[in-house]
């Protein structure tokens, strides 16, 4: 078929968008779909058609029915000084956002952190989870099933190992409601964020479970106890992905000169806003705007933006000390990777290269941990600046000047 014939069939719905991938090359398919959408909607798509991303590397891997790209402005903040186990030095932060004042705010936080000697950051836990749900015949069957699980951890680890050479099953927790059993498997996924890896590995483990337990039925390989892309108490308490803490002590003189407020006001705003306000709202996030920084860095660095949901359950603390103001952020559920997903896309890979974390680390896992430490430090910078702006009653003025 000629391109005009394909286009006419698309317009008459005799051919589906996805079917033309089997007829023409990737670039031609992208252009034909875009032309069809223009005619079907009456909208000229002159901007989404302009991109430097290699369509053949993302079509079918990161996107279906591709017609172009949506560009998000990319800013830079920093340098931020990080003192972590994996990230150690000065880093410039790529932030993709349409929110005016955000990059400027993070940039101010980076300056304050530098004057405080840098952000000390540590990863306390690093485990990706997947939790299939099973149903047993009765409570006696539940107990029998749990006992089998406890006695066969090594066999389940071996089953998971047959699916990947880059990850491993670390352990399993069980949760019961009635005759329903959730097995929450935890995996080491090295430099990958790892959702696909752990799903495939969990499926292999489930096959072993079903072979050995004829009276148990698998309902779903994901039973929402993982918990994936939803705010949850279990992830806040037990962690998912990387559990990271970043801290800095800001000298009192820096609070006054750079943040234009006082240590006491910083403490009060955090207490009454981030802690009491969040408690009163029954929020699972006790922070000012962690999701802002997470989403900007996730988009820039090819992360799964939906995981901002879990990352936003961060907890910010501010305390007055004898040597300054101690500020910390705790992210119980930060899910990032430097291989897989969108990390290979040309523009996103460049952002990872800015941070020195593109691709697999040496040893494996180090780059993803380094990225986690940098992002946690960036969240710390954002929290410091926004809380200070609110303490100094500068927030409205900043948005009037830098973005609405």
CATH number at residue 209: 3.30.70.420
Are residues 373 and 272 both part of a single domain? yes
Examine the domain organization and report whether 140 and 118 are in the same domain. Answer: no
- Asked whether residue 66 is domain-assigned, the answer is no
What domain range is 308 assigned to?
Answer: 74-126+241-402
3-state SS assignment for residue 323: coil
Average pLDDT of span 193-212:
97
Q: How many domains does the chain have?
A: 3
The pLDDT of residue 329 is above 90: yes
375 DSSP β-pair partners: none
Catalytically annotated residue among 3, 38, 99, 188: 99
Say whether 399 is catalytic.
Answer: yes
Q: Are residues 122 and 137 in the same domain?
A: no
Q: Are residues 371 and 300 in the same domain?
A: yes
234 occurs within a structural domain: no
Residue range 261-267: mean pLDDT, rounded: 97
pLDDT at 197: 96
CB contact at 8 A, 352 and 74: no
pTM of the entire predicted model: 0.95
How far, in Å, CA of 374 to CA of 355, rounded?
8
Residue 304 appears among annotated catalytic residues: yes
371 shares a domain with 271: yes
Residue at 312 is within a domain: yes
- 266/205 same-domain check: no
Residue finishing a domain among 159, 189, 220: 220
SS3 263: helix
Alpha helix (H) residue ranges in 122-246: 139-151, 153-161, 195-212, 233-238
For 124, the token pair is 């306390």
Q: How confident is the model at residue 106 (pLDDT cuts 50, 70, 90)?
A: very high
Q: Are residues 275 and 386 in the same domain?
A: yes
Res 401 pLDDT > 70: no
In this structure, the answer to whether residues 285 and 363 fall within a common structural domain is yes
Q: Active site residue: 304, 319, 350, 364, which one?
A: 304
Q: Tell me: do 294 and 145 sit in the same domain.
A: no
Q: Are 118 and 248 in contact (CB under 8 A)?
A: yes
Same domain for 84 and 35 = no
137 has pLDDT over 80: yes
Cα 284 to Cα 71: distance, rounded to the nearest angstrom: 31
68 domain-assigned: no
pLDDT at 396 over 80: no
Q: Please state whether beta strands 74-83 and 119-130 pair in parallel, antiparallel, or not at all (unpaired).
A: parallel
Give the whole-number percent of the chain exceeding pLDDT 90. 97
Is residue 397 included in any domain, yes or no?
Answer: yes
Distance CA 187, CA 116 (A): 36
Q: What is the pLDDT of residue 398?
A: 55
Taking the C-alpha atoms of residue 346 and residue 343, their distance in angstroms, rounded to an integer, is 8
CATH number at residue 346: 3.90.770.10
DSSP element (H, E) containing 96: strand 88-96
In a domain, 65, yes or no: no
């Amino acid at each position: 078929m000629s391109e005009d014939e394909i286009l006419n069939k698309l317009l008459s719905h005799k051919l589906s968008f996805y079917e033309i991938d089997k007829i023409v090359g990737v670039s031609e398919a992208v252009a034909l779909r875009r032309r069809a959408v223009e005619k079907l909607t009456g909208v000229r798509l002159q901007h989404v058609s302009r991109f430097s991303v290699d369509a053949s590397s993302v079509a079918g891997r990161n996107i279906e029915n591709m017609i172009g790209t949506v560009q998000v402005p990319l800013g830079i903040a920093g340098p931020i000084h990080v003192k972590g186990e994996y990230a150690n030095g000065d880093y410039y932060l790529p932030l993709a956002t349409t929110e005016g004042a955000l990059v400027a705010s993070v940039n101010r936080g980076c300056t304050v952190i530098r004057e405080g000697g840098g952000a000390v950051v540590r990863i306390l836990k690093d485990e990706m989870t997947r939790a299939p749900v099973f149903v047993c015949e009765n409570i006696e069957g539940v107990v029998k099933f749990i006992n089998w699980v406890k006695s066969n951890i090594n066999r389940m680890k071996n089953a998971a190992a047959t699916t990947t050479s880059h990850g491993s099953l670390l352990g399993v927790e069980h949760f019961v409601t009635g005759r329903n059993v959730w097995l929450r498997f935890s995996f080491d996924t090295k430099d990958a964020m790892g959702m696909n890896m752990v799903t495939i590995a969990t499926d292999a483990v489930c096959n072993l479970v079903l072979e050995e337990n004829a009276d148990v039925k698998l309902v779903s390989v994901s039973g929402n106890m993982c918990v994936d892309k939803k705010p949850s108490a279990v992830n806040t308490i037990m962690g998912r992905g990387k559990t990271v803490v970043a801290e800095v002590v800001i000298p009192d003189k820096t609070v006054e000169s750079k943040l234009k407020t006082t240590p006491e006001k910083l403490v009060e705003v955090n207490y009454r806003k981030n802690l009491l306000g969040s408690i009163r709202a029954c929020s699972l996030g006790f922070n000012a705007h962690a999701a802002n920084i997470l989403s900007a860095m996730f988009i820039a660095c090819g992360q799964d933006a939906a995981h901002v949901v879990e990352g936003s359950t961060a907890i910010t603390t501010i305390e007055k000390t004898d040597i300054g103001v101690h500020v910390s952020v705790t992210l119980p559920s930060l899910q990032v990777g430097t291989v897989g997903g969108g990390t290979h896309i040309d523009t996103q890979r460049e952002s990872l290269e800015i941070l020195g974390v593109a691709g697999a680390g040496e040893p494996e896992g180090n780059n993803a941990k380094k990225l986690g430490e940098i992002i946690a430090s960036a969240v710390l910078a954002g929290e410091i600046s926004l809380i200070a702006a609110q303490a100094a009653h500068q927030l409205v003025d900043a948005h009037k000047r830098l973005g609405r």
